[in-house]
Amino acid sequence: MEKYIVSARKYRPSTFASVVGQTALTSTLKNAIATDRLAHAYLFCGSRGVGKTSCARVFAKTINCEHRTPDGDPCNECDSCRAFNNGSSLNIVELDAASNNGVDDIRSLVEQVQVPPTNGLYRVFIIDEVHMLSAAAFNAFLKTLEEPPSYVVFILATTEKHKIIPTILSRCQIYDFNRITIQDMVNHLEYVASQEGITAERAALGVIASKADGAMRDALSIFDQVAASSRGNITYRSTIENLNVLDSAYFSRLVDCFLASDVPGALLVYKEIRDHGFDSHAFINGLAAYIRDLMVTREESTRSLVDTDEATLKLMTDQAAKCTPTFLYQAMSLCNDADLNYRQATAKTFLVELLLIKLCQLLSPSPIFSGDGEGQLKPLQAAVQQPAMPATPQVQQPRPAAPQVQQPAPAPRASFTPAPAPATARPEARRRAATVPHTISIRNPEATLHPETASSPATSSAPRRDSAYNEKQLSAAWEAYMAANPTRHILVNTMRASHPVAAEGRAHIFTVTVENPAQQEMLEAEMPALLEHIHNALDNDFVTFEIALNQGVSSPSTWSEREIVAYMSESYPNMKKFMSELKLSLT
């Protein structure tokens, strides 16, 4: 019985025509041979399993072939070709630099270079994984590589070109091998299956090619594995089960759930994936890649960017037509965020399930601009604008008044305080404030708003409050607003450093001086809620704040530590002397 040979060796290319997926490169090499324009050194670069060493062997056999075919391939019949095929040719020397990477190995190679070919025209030295040579070995090889004998051709092969020193690169013609496309691998696997008498579904071969990740050698090895497990009948289902592949069918089902807003269905598909033992992080990346492929398949011009078989490409094209670009862009963004957060997440399964729920909600009726931009929350503005009670203010029921800030005992009024209002006006104003329905502020949820007092005086039917107050009461109300927002550190620090100052000759108008435009912009945005709080605390609707930007030297309250130390050193010479003698500095 004939001894079994694995497909990766049995179907290794023996001619340029049998090299898979490198048509442009093999055409260049054949033309160089046909015109007798051979370089003395070549460098073949590319990922594993793309045919670098195979091309080097075919090239070496071809340049010594006595009767090349019209297409430029070796005849495989002359003495030189037969000697090469039998492994007895002395004109082709192979060196594995991964295990022979020292100076002594290169010196031995240089000695062999001096021996001319016994038959044929050239001696070819193939050095595989050349990037593994040591620095000393590279240096020992430089002179021979630059000026070899006329009958010597060097072919260097590597998977990591960036590790080769520039002096080696400059002495070689460099050929970059492409990753083999899934389509090319499927076609070659079909040829191998027909030669071996194996029946194989094309979809199954597509799964094998995807698993190989651009390497023909890996594809042939996986093909042998699946063929052995399925006893020569390779089906899509047997391939998926044997390789335990997270194929595109799972992702297609998930996208259907997203389009139908089917949250339970999406979670059940994810459970099925986890039950098969797939890693959740790999699942997130696979889902992101599938959604990306859907995006590029929407356009005919970008469809070539998807590397898959024809059947899968057609299914993806049909599904992509059901998706809007906005949906796909947002879905990719959510997958990217989940990928970034995965390593830090404690509950990783929960993170993935939350991602799936968000993806299912992308096409929900709520606007895409609400909430966090993912479409699952109704806009807060719309919720606030809903009438809280029937539009008959005459029958409004009183509700408990909001907690009032404890005001200090009355003090003499400042000179800027207007004349006191009649005593009968203030109890009525307080009763009116107590009977107004409470709502929540959009800007500051912790503050209590009153629609009547928040409305414009020009449009409000209620009289404006004008109770007496003093500067101490205003300062207390200012401090109370800071205390009501303890987590808003930037706002609190700004208010602490910028207390209101009465404008000269202008009643009820106070100036708040800030140090930079950012503080000015923040206070302007906060002003409606702040004014409402001040008006309620003072029972006066005429208080107004003007925000001014400090144009001079910054206020001491905003000085940095270095500015404080510099000021004290200049103001107190003894302190400066003390720091100088002890060599003290601010770190």
Cα→Cα distances 314→240, 293, 294, 318, 349, Å: 20, 12, 11, 6, 32
**Which spans in 87-215 are helix H?**
103-113, 135-146, 166-169, 182-196, 202-212
Q: Residue holding tokens 């708040």?
A: 512
Same domain, 42 and 127: yes
Same domain, 149 and 30: yes
Same domain, 195 and 149: no
SS3 state at 66: coil
Same domain, 467 and 512: yes
Whether 493 maps to a domain, the answer reads yes
First to last CA, the chain: 83
- The tokens for 332 are 């990719």
Do 296 and 171 meet the contact criterion of CB atoms below 8 Å apart? no
Same domain, 169 and 189: no
Same domain, 432 and 505: yes
Whether 559 maps to a domain, the answer reads no
CATH number, domain of 448, equals 3.30.300.180
Whether 564 maps to a domain, the answer reads no
SS3 state at 495: helix
Task: List 126's β-bridge partners, or say none.
Answer: 94, 155
User: What does the pLDDT read at residue 378?
Assistant: 39
Q: Which of 360, 392, 413 is the last residue of a domain?
A: 360
Whether 582 maps to a domain, the answer reads no
Q: Which residues of the chain have pLDDT under 50?
A: 367-460
Q: Which of 142, 176, 210 is the last residue of a domain?
A: 176
User: Secondary structure of the chain: what % helix, strand, coil (to 5)?
Assistant: 50, 10, 40
CATH number, domain of 348, equals 1.20.272.10
Give the structural domain span for 118.
7-176
Q: Residue holding tokens 């699946």?
A: 226
Whether 519 maps to a domain, the answer reads yes
User: What does the pLDDT read at residue 428?
Assistant: 43
The DSSP string of 427-469 is HHHHHHHHHSPPEE-SS-TTSEE-HHHHS-TTT--SPPPB---
Whether 271 maps to a domain, the answer reads yes
Same domain, 168 and 197: no
- Number of structural domains found in the chain: 4
Cα→Cα distances 100→2, 103, 105, 112, 152, Å: 34, 9, 6, 15, 20
Do 132 and 101 meet the contact criterion of CB atoms below 8 Å apart? yes
Whether 417 maps to a domain, the answer reads no
CA distance 22 to 215: 12
CA distance 235 to 438: 68
CATH number, domain of 211, equals 1.10.8.60
SS3 state at 260: coil
Same domain, 73 and 157: yes
Sheet containing strand 509-514, edge to edge, reads 501-502, 509-514, 544-549
Best CA proximity match to 479, nearest among 467, 492, 489? 492
Same domain, 98 and 204: no
Secondary element (H or E) of residue 148: none
Same domain, 67 and 192: no
User: What does the pLDDT read at residue 563?
Assistant: 65
Same domain, 167 and 190: no
Whether 345 maps to a domain, the answer reads yes
CA distance 64 to 476: 99
User: What does the pLDDT read at residue 69?
Assistant: 83
Same domain, 541 and 479: yes
Q: Which of 335, 360, 385 is the last residue of a domain?
A: 360
| Other residues' Cβ atoms within 10 Å of the Cβ of residue 342 | 16
CA distance 516 to 549: 6
CA distance 217 to 208: 12
- The tokens for 47 are 């990922």
